[in-house]
């Protein structure tokens, strides 16, 4: 069985982004970029499933990562290969596609590759959409288990424990199926230097967005980006007594 | 113009987050109709009709909707939504699971975490962990939105007079199966709806030490939250995580104890009215966001605070 993992190149999670002066977009000049953390977790999970083939009875022949984005996304595809993905596909475009358009592109790739499992990240930390996996599952007519914190693969299918607001929920799905990862699913490994070198020789196919023949014009236009309203500066209190006094007599919140 | 709101519930009672969605819906144009999809969920529909400003409540009562499986609920919602200009639900894990799927079935681009409605087609939403607010305009014929409940007041309950209409559409796709659920039970207020939240981080060192926070919380009627580091380390369960990828809270008072205030944590609580930080590091980012910052060892300060604060002094 094959596993397909869609990954995104995003701003590094430590960067505090700011709007451009003209408010047209965020300022990403010279900021550090990385693989979206949830996508890293998705890649790691695919690798663990491949390594556990003997235990699960499900042999994973190949892990394919796919990214839709600028040419530089090859760095993130190589990073995924350096920890164990076998092959990469880059759908090259400088447009920042919306989740619906991404889902449509990924559907084409899915139809070509016919994987048994598609593992998404739950959310990209730039757009914070939390949509692409669900939209893809809808278009592909597949079952979905979002926000996964545990995944058990067997010949019968996949059982996924999901992190929901009230606690945990477990679902069972036949394959093929769609999973989106939450933070506690696993802790991604670091790439070893020899594997970084080896990753350079793994196959990476580049196709253009046009070649997929899709209509991807945006449905949602960003009119403005702005910094959120600033909070007024606070004060230092020197003792618990002072804190209690402020809370009771100044803020009047207790 | 009309708005369809997907009601969140557990087949018995309505999740209060739905009330905030109704307020957002009322800011759009046209009638506001609600959809209750569940199993043996008549009591939910009975409370839904009492929400002020609601026109009609659809009840789709079938075993296949019992656990809100995304495939079934989305297929149903899509059928109804084709008659509407908007489909809304709360930006909870349930809403985020279902709404994008509905949008894809309708071939429209959903908009997540709406915090303001500027006009019938223009909305505001936070991106980049809330470091930036985007104003976006949708050109889709049906607009699919998840609503951040902290940004809208709850609609009043009691004086509504909506009608109930049975919806007999049964979408049982049989794609996924519910196995089990482990829901947290707590006597404390619900995190996202609480007036006061006390949150702890890695500084608490272990799960037992969270008792310090529970004691404080119970004295002042607060809910208890946590940073991701505290959840990851197994001090507390996942449903307590506050932040970009956890729950969003905006209480009147947020007391952050032994947590540093990473960007991702701030994203989930910086709309709180008053923020208190207790940290032994005066330069921790949370200390710069706090209205009242106390540099102290939490193991001294929290018990003292618990002793000196009384419920509504
Ligand atoms: C993709 C992604 C998503 C994330 N989402 C979230 C999220 O939703 N929510 C979230 O919280 N984090 C999230 N994180 C993690 C976040 O980046 C931080 O790692 C995390 O919030 C740190 O938790 P902390 O503040 O408890 O721990 P630390 O940063 O280690 O802070 C501990 C603090 O406790 C203080 N302290 C220690 N001992 C004492 C004492 N005795 N008395 C007083 N103070 C003491 C220290 O001075 C320090 O400031 C996310 C990260 C990533 C990559
Ligand atoms: N440009 C992209 N290329 C490939 N996969 C993507 C892309 N954008 C988003 N995804 C996938 O969809 C998930 C959720 O993203 P989002 O819906 O944007 O929050 C990510 O974690 C990825 O797995």
Do A169 and B312 lie within an 8 Å CB cutoff?
no
Q: Where does chain B show beta strands of DSSP type E? A: 2-6, 31-38, 56-61, 86-90, 111-114, 116-119, 122-127, 132-138, 143-147, 163-166, 176-183, 196-200, 223-226, 253-257, 274-279, 292-295
Q: Decide if B175 touches A, using CB distance below 8 A.
A: yes
Task: Specify the pLDDT at position A233.
Answer: 83
Q: How many domains does chain A have?
A: 1
Express each pLDDT in B88-130 by its tens digit.
Answer: 999 999 999 999 999 999 999 999 999 999 999 999 999 999 9
What is the distance between the alpha carbons of residues B106 and B76, in angstroms, rounded to a whole number? 12
What is the distance between the alpha carbons of residues B227 and B200, in angstroms, rounded to a whole number? 6
ipTM: 0.96
Express each pLDDT in B183-225 by its tens digit.
Answer: 988 889 989 989 999 999 999 999 999 999 999 999 999 999 9
Read off the pLDDT band of B313 (50, 70, 90). very low
- Closest-CA residue of B relative to A216 is B109
Express each pLDDT in B7-66 by its tens digit.
Answer: 999 999 999 999 999 999 999 989 999 999 999 999 999 999 999 999 999 999 999 999
Q: Is residue A245 part of a domain?
A: yes
Q: Decide if B101 touches A, using CB distance below 8 A.
A: yes
Which H helix or E strand runs over A178?
strand A177-181
Q: Is residue A254 part of a domain?
A: no
Q: Is residue A204 part of a domain?
A: yes
If chain A, 254 residues long, is cut into consecutive pieces of 10 residues, what is the mean pLDDT of each piece?
98 93 94 97 98 94 98 98 98 96 98 98 97 98 98 96 95 98 96 95 96 92 94 92 96 91
Residues of B in contact with A244 (CB under 8 A): 305, 308-309, 313
- pLDDT > 90 in chain B, percent: 94
Interface of A with B in 99-138 (CB under 8 A): 99-100, 103, 122-123, 125-132, 134-138
Task: Specify the pLDDT at position A238.
Answer: 97
Q: Is residue A119 part of a domain?
A: yes
Q: Decide if A230 touches B, using CB distance below 8 A.
A: no
Q: Is residue A232 part of a domain?
A: yes
Q: Which domain holds residue A157?
A: 2-249
Express each pLDDT in B263-312 by its tens digit.
Answer: 999 999 999 999 999 999 999 999 999 999 999 999 999 999 999 997 65
User: In this structure, which residue's CA is closest to atom 1 in ligand 2?
Assistant: A68
Nearest bound ligand to the CA of residue B233: 1
The CATH number covering residue A210 comes to: 3.40.50.620
What is the distance between the alpha carbons of residues A97 and B109, in angstroms, rounded to a whole number? 11
Task: Specify the pLDDT at position B312.
Answer: 54
What residues are in contact with ligand 2 under a 6 Å CB criterion? A 6-8, 36, 38-39, 42, 66-69, 99, 102, 120-121, 123-124, 127, 129-133
Ramachandran sector of residue A130 (left: φ over 0; alpha: ψ -120 to 50; beta: rest): left
Long-range contacts of B123-127 (CB under 8 A, 24+ apart): B126/A128, B126/A228, B126/B267, B127/A26, B127/A126, B127/A127, B127/A128, B127/A225
Do B133 and A226 lie within an 8 Å CB cutoff?
yes
What is the distance between the alpha carbons of residues A207 and B55, in angstroms, rounded to a whole number? 50
């Amino acid at each position: 069985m094959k596993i397909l993992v869609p990954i995104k190149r995003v701003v590094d999670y430590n960067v505090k982004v700011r709007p451009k002066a003209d408010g047209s977009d965020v300022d990403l000049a010279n900021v550090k970029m990385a693989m979206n953390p949830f996508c890293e977790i998705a890649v790691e999970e695919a690798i663990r499933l491949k390594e556990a083939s003997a235990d699960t009875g499900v042999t994973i022949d190949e892990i394919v990562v796919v990214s839709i984005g600028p040419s530089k996304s090859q760095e993130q595809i190589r990073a995924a290969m350096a920890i164990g993905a076998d092959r990469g596909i880059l759908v090259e475009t400088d447009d920042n596609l919306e989740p619906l358009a991404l889902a449509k592109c990924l559907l084409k790739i899915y139809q070509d590759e016919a994987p048994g499992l598609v593992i998404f990240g739950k959310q990209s930390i730039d757009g914070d959409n939390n949509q692409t996996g669900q939209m893809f599952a809808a278009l592909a007519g597949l079952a979905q288990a979002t926000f996964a914190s545990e995944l058990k693969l067997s010949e019968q299918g996949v059982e996924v424990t999901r992190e929901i607001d009230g606690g945990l929920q477990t679902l069972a799905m036949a394959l093929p199926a769609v999973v989106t990862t939450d933070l506690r699913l696993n802790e991604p490994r670091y790439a070893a230097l020899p594997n970084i070198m080896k990753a350079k020789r793994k196959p990476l196919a580049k196709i253009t967005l046009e070649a997929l023949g899709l209509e991807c014009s945006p449905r949602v236009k960003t009119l403005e980006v702005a910094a959120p309203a600033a909070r007024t500066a606070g004060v230092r209190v020197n003792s618990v007594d002072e804190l209690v006094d402020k809370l009771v007599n100044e803020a009047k919140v207790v | 113009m009309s708005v369809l709101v997907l009601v969140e519930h557990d087949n018995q009672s309505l999740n209060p987050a739905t009330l905030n969605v109704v307020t957002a819906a009322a800011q759009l144009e046209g009638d506001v109709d609600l959809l209750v999809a569940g199993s043996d969920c008549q009591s939910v529909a009975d409370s839904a009709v009492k929400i002020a400003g609601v026109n009609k409540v659809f009840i789709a009562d079938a075993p296949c909707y019992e656990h809100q499986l995304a495939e079934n609920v989305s297929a149903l919602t899509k059928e109804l939504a084709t008659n509407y200009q908007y489909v809304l639900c709360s930006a909870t894990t349930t809403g985020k699971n279902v709404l994008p799927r509905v949008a894809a079935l309708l071939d429209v681009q959903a908009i997540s975490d709406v915090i303001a409605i500027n006009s019938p087609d223009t909305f505001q939403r936070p991106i980049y962990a809330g470091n930036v607010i985007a104003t976006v305009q949708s050109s889709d014929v049906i607009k699919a939105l998840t609503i951040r409940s902290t940004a809208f007041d709850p609609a009043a309950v009691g004086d509504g007079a909506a009608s109930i209409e049975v919806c007999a559409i049964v979408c049982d796709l049989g794609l996924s199966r519910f196995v089990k659920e482990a829901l947290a039970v707590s006597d404390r207020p619900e995190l996202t709806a609480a007036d006061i939240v006390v949150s702890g981080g890695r500084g608490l060192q272990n799960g037992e030490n969270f008792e310090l926070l529970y004691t404080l919380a119970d004295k002042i009627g607060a809910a208890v939250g946590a940073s991701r580091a505290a959840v990851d380390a197994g001090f507390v369960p996942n449903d307590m995580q506050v932040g970009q990828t956890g729950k969003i809270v905006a209480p009147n008072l947020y007391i952050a104890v032994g947590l540093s205030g990473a960007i991702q944590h701030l994203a989930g609580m910086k709309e709180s009215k008053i923020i208190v930080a207790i940290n032994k590091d005066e330069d921790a980012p949370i200390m710069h966001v706090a209205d009242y910052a106390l540099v102290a060892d939490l193991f001294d300060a929290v018990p003292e605070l618990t002793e000196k604060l009384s419920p509504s002094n």
